């Protein structure tokens, strides 16, 4: 089974953290590293989806143009 990168670490490192306190995200290096990695993975995921979506749109446009030209004959 191929697990996508963005699904590997969905749980924030703050869960069950003994050092956790109010507003600790600004000072916690572990959280900052996790957050940066999550943002990078999300950007990659959206980039993949965008390219898939653009290919679908090009295909739909080509089919629409083919049908329109066929009807004009």
Lookup result for tokens 């003994």 = 18
CA–CA distance, 49 with 57 (Å, rounded to integer): 12
User: Model confidence over 31-55: pLDDT tens digits?
Assistant: 888 889 888 888 888 887 777 777 7
DSSP state of 1: -
Segment (H or E) for 46? helix 29-72
Q: Is the pTM of this model over 0.75?
A: no
């Amino acid at each position: 089974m191929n697990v996508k990168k963005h699904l590997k670490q969905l749980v924030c490192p703050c869960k069950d953290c003994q050092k956790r306190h109010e507003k600790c995200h600004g000072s916690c290096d572990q959280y900052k590293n996790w957050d940066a990695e999550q943002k990078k993975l999300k950007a990659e995921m959206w980039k993949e989806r965008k390219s898939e979506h653009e290919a679908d749109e090009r295909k739909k446009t080509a089919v629409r143009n083919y049908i329109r030209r066929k009807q004009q004959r």
